[in-house]
Structure 1
Amino acid sequence: MATRPFDFHPPVLNREDPEGIEQGVRQLRPLRSSRSKILWPEDPNCNKYDVDFGYHVPLTLLLSFPRSGNSWIRYFIEAATGIYTGSAYYDELLYRTGFRGESAGWYDGTTIVKKTHSPFHVNANDSVIMLVRNPTRACISHFNFKSSKADDIMKFKDILPEQQFFSKKFHLHANGCPTWWREVASAGLRARRLLPIYYEYLREDPIPKLLLILRFLGIEPDEGRLSCLQKHLDGEYKGNQLTIDPYTHKEKLAFANAINFVNTSLQKRGFDPLPDYSLYRN
């Protein structure tokens, strides 16, 4: 069994009992505690909605290759549920910019989902929301994000000079992307409960995909929260969409093989095929 980041197992609610989950996630969450965060403080019609830590929340993984929209979808989930999201890693930048669940332990039951980019954090009995993005675009975005010198929220919006994507450093980075992307998806497909979310469809129409996530989590939608979220969809974490194509023929072939493998595996398990990535420039 894969090693987890923390080694504490609190009691959790029965995943098959939506009423139990509802009580654990919503009714037992403290309202406006000292650790809560107001979601939209400048909006007089929406500033009543906050986010806080939960209590005995069942463990659900939010699995993705880096830069597949993970931080953006965490914003959606926090806004819709009122519960902080957590992570397998402590990212100081994310903590400073509002993701206070970064500080929560893996098994402490206080966050609604736990982000990970590692296939080794996924076990067969897990519940997993898997965010899947075109790996060629995610790989570029990941390199851009890692290479940015910004140390604040602008790191999500920063764009490198174009020539850096044709450098040796970029191609060394790109060489490992297809295998990592395929291994992340393969790990998710081994999970007992799995909800794949395709980033390209999420970007086109976020709320229906968010409703699928809420159903998977066993949470009744809050129409007021969703109405306010509809007004503030971009949030602070939606990155710029890069359209550059710096890949060699060999790199493109490796990505195509990974995409075909994952697409076939998804359909074998009964899920929808991946989007036709040729229709998307970013």
Structure 2
Amino acid sequence: MVLAAPQHQSPIVTWEKLPEDFILPDDPVENIQQPSLAAALTDALGATNRIQPHMLVATNFGIVANINQKTVVKAPDWLYFPRVSPVGTGVIRRSYTPNTEGENVAVVMEFLSDTDNAEYSIRPTFPYGKLYFYERILQVPTYVIFNPYEVTLEVRHLENGQYVLQQPSESGHFWIRELDLFLGIWQGTRLGLNIYWLRWWDQEGNLLLWSSEQVEQERQRAEQERQRADNAIAQLEVERRRQEALAAKLRQLGIDPDVES
């Protein structure tokens, strides 16, 4: 399925860093789940050492383009850049301009709001719809839309300049080629929040654990090792008592067990 933006005069796009005095929007998140969903995606990548210093993984972070001499900023709920230029010591990124500060964004994710479905907007004029901006302006290779209300996941890959809706694997997961991982929906609890999450699986189908799950897994492994050690000590104690009982019996028979025959 191809969801294409309408034909419109091609915009003039230039890549310019955001002016220092540009005021970024400070809109509140749509609901309490959005920050948690994004943080969980990043946490699993970090916990498995899949985030390197030259990469940029961010949430609700502004991507900048100058379109027809107007500055446009979109802030996806989650995004991944494979390689960015380093910033100076003490400098904090407040936005990112592709082709100026490093490579283009490779993956963007939007968590569907229950208001205007702006994530599907193909508006080709200022301030530009999100789908139009990601497909035509940024040309992001992979665009993900997660609907937490209906619990549905859509993945679009850019093919010949247009987004094509992908089909899931037999396990219901989608291959995200830019990260060499599968993405899918998983229900469970994290930080006291029991909801449907987006999670990563590797090529072999192994779930990438969150840091908290790794800690719990290590705790259980340590507990198992302690239990095995306790069992071994208990077995040695049983054997010691058996040997003592046998020695006592031999002494009753007039045999000194400590004297070698």
TM-score normalised to the size of structure 1? 0.26
Larger Rg over CA atoms: 2
Structure (1 or 2) with the greater helix fraction = 1
Higher RCO, Cα 8 Å, sep 6+: 1
Structure (1 or 2) with the greater strand fraction = 2
